[in-house]
Amino acid sequence: MKNHEFTLQNEHGLHARPAGLFVQVCNKYQSAVNLYKADQKYNGKSMLGILKMAASKGDVIRVEVDGVDESEAIDEIKSLIRGNFGE
């Protein structure tokens, strides 16, 4: 299992476009991807799940990836986050 914690820097949080990019990246991999905001767990492969999280700028989010291709998945997820979701 791989984990990565980050503080959301997007001005408008994880709105539809960055959430869509996140889901697109996660669905390329077999591994399970979960996001945690506070004590709540959300499915990283579900657009509705991520939007339901209502993540805003400054929120601390933990990504947990578990499965056969977890290393590759977490690396691409980190890259997406470091690139500020293309914004």
Q: How confident is the model at residue 19, as a pLDDT?
A: 95
Number of independent structural domains in the chain: 1
Q: Which residue has the tokens 């996001």?
A: 35
Q: Of 15, 37, 62, 78, which is the active-site residue?
A: 15
| Model pLDDT for residues 26-75, shown as the tens digit of each residue | 999 999 999 999 999 999 999 999 999 999 999 999 999 999 999 999 99
Provide the pLDDT for residue 20: 95
CATH code of the domain covering residue 46 = 3.30.1340.10
Range of the domain at 51: 2-86
Q: Are 67 and 31 in contact (CB under 8 A)?
A: yes
Contact 21, 86 (CB under 8 A): yes
Catalytic site includes residue 15: yes
pLDDT at residue 10, rounded to an integer: 87
